[in-house]
Amino acid sequence: MDSKSSPVEMFFFPYVGGGHQIPMVDIARIFAAHGAKSTIITSPKHARSFQQSINRNQQSGLPITIKTLHLPDDIEIPDTDMSATPRTDTSMLQEPLKSLLLDSRPDCIVHDMFHHWSADVINSMNIPRIVFNGNCCFSRCVLENVRKYKPHEKVSCDYEPFVVPGLPDKIELTSSQLPVCARQQEAGSVHKMFAKPEEKSFGIVVNSFYDLEPAYVEYFKQDLGNDKAWFVGPVSLCNSNIEDKAERGHKTSIDEGKILSFLDSKETNSVLYISFGSLARLAPEQLLEIAYGLEASNHSFIWVVGKIFQSPGTRKENGIEENWLPSGFEERMRESKRGLIIRGWAPQLLILEHAAVGGFMTHCGWNSTLESVSAGVPMVTWPITAEQFSNEKLISDVLKIGVKVGSVNWVSWSTEPSAAVGRDKVEVAVKRLMGTGEEAAEMRRRAGELGEKAKNAVEEGGSSFIDAEALLQELKSVSRI
């Protein structure tokens, strides 16, 4: 940077999967709105999913661009549509990234920790490096203290609850809910996954906001020694126009007008939204249980049936049709106008913020959790993998804005899924959340309050707004030394 008035130049290097790419693109927009010159670095294929919205941002005057890293013709990142898992190898981007950084030398680069090789490459260029890991503070504190105190080694079986020591609240988990690598004796690999890229970094940016988890932000900074952490979320709130919300992450699989007219015909808080994020593949048998549970609950719903796990020979058995629903289910839901099924990608932000939506059945992915909080919508929690079981604890036990469906077994991305939660549990949880009882009303009230706090955080003078400014100031002072 050569003059005092020139903007801070920030590069953003998102991962190539939905749940990590989507928030990083938003973070790039947020810093552009704060005056940084933001550049998003990605492969040509992955740029396609957000190119249009960045074009719109440029037209409205935001200093943001995309730079694509060119790969030789026969090389591609081995993901399918929005579904790179944390194990996907992106190292073919290493050389193109190096040469870009050599040419450009930005004031800093924000990179996703799932580009496992990127910390070393950026360090070797001596460019200030900021890590994005996609998680909240609470789950980091939980996993860190499990690693440190090993409470899971003092119980007699995988389903016996233990308290995670040292945390601001009494948080109980079972071994069955921990990532497999966190359960093992030598453990530490979850810790390494986070700690390694953060070593020698300038700091981390977190998609969360202070008022959501104040005790954990303090604990994370002071007790766990992460003082260089900036909380700039909820980042999804930077999507203010309808196109950006509708196209966020992917083109929707259904005309959004159809969704909105379905929702417009419903009473306030009467519709349950169901989605398991960008990656989860549910077993067909599990979809069947969800369908029966939803039907029995008698509540209206929008159900996003995303990826379905297909093992050979599961077709047309046990009353499961080829589309994995009970016979006649979709027709019954259509005729009674009770349910809308979306196969593929849904405009989640548009749905969550509609007044008719009163609950979200979620896999507790951090983005979905925070988007639900931002919209003031309480949840039915159904964690499956990653840090989702910790997120469930935050939602249900700390914030008290969720009903647990009763999912108790952590499963890895690579395991064949099963029907882990039966229809009765689905029905009970949906009725508890969507019903008219005192418990549901309280959860809704608390969720509404948090939604207001979320919006305040990103407005001028709010904690996330101030943190974004503070990071920019710090980068300015470093780059001008």
> By three-state DSSP, how is residue 343 classified?
strand
**Residue 342 parent element (H or E):** strand 339-343
Among 110, 229, 279, 320, binds ligand UDP (CB under 6 A): 279
Buried b (16+ CB within 10 A) or exposed e, 253-283: ebebeebbebbeebeebbbbbbbbbbbbbbb
Say how far apart CA 1 and CA 37 lie, in whole Å.
11
Yes or no: say if 293 and 361 are a contact pair by the CB < 8 Å rule: no
Indicate whether 206 belongs to the interface with ligand UDP (CB under 6 A). Answer: no
Closest residue to ligand UDP using C-beta atoms: 19
C-alpha span between 208 and 374 (Å, rounded) = 10
Interface segment toward ligand UDP; rule CB under 6 A; list 14-22, 124-132, 193-201, 324-332: 14-22
Helix (H) or strand (E) run with residue 380 in it:
strand 379-381
Q: Shortest gap between Cβ of 367 and ligand UDP (angstroms)?
A: 3
Q: Does 373 bind ligand UDP (CB under 6 A)?
A: no
Check residue 345 for interaction with ligand UDP (CB under 6 A).
Answer: yes
Select 208 or 278, whichever has its Cβ closest to ligand UDP. 278
**Residue 342 CB, nearest distance to ligand UDP (Å)?**
7
- The verdict on 390 binding ligand UDP (CB under 6 A) reads no
Interface with ligand UDP (CB under 6 A), residue from 121, 304, 440, 472: 304
| Strands 300-305 vs 281-282: parallel, antiparallel or unpaired | unpaired
The reply to whether 275 sits near ligand UDP by the rule CB under 6 A is yes
Whichever of 130 and 349 has its CB closer to ligand UDP, that residue is: 349
Nearer to ligand UDP, 277 or 451 (CB): 277
Residue 366 within binding range of ligand UDP, rule CB under 6 A:
yes
Site string for ligand UDP, 54-73 (x = CB under 6 A): --------------------
Confirm or reject binding of residue 371 to ligand UDP (CB under 6 A): yes
Give 417's strand partners: none
Per CB under 6 A, does 368 bind ligand UDP? yes
CA separation for the pair 432, 424 (Å, rounded): 12
301 near ligand UDP, rule: CB under 6 A:
no
Does 348 contact ligand UDP by CB under 6 A? yes
Minimum CB separation of residue 225 from ligand UDP in Å reads: 26
Query: Does 22 engage in binding with ligand UDP (CB under 6 A)?
Result: yes
CB of 254 to ligand UDP, least distance (A): 10
Which one is catalytic: 26, 107, 112, 244?
Answer: 112
Nearer to ligand UDP, 124 or 415 (CB): 415
| Nearest CA-CA partner of 389 in 152, 110, 129, 70 | 152
Phi-psi region of 297 (alpha: psi -120 to 50; beta: other; left: phi over 0): alpha
Q: Is 248 in the site for ligand UDP (CB under 6 A)?
A: yes
**Single-letter amino acid, residue 392:** E
Q: What strand order describes the sheet that includes 229-231? A: 64-68, 37-42, 9-13, 108-112, 129-132, 203-206, 229-231
Asked if 86 interacts with ligand UDP (CB under 6 A), we say no
The tokens 């909105």 sit on which residue? 260
Verify whether residue 112 is a known catalytic residue. yes
Residue 138 and residue 168: Cα distance in Å, rounded? Answer: 10
The footprint of ligand UDP (CB under 6 A) covers 18-19, 22, 248-249, 275, 277-279, 304, 345-346, 348, 365-368, 371
Annotated catalytic residues are: 20, 112
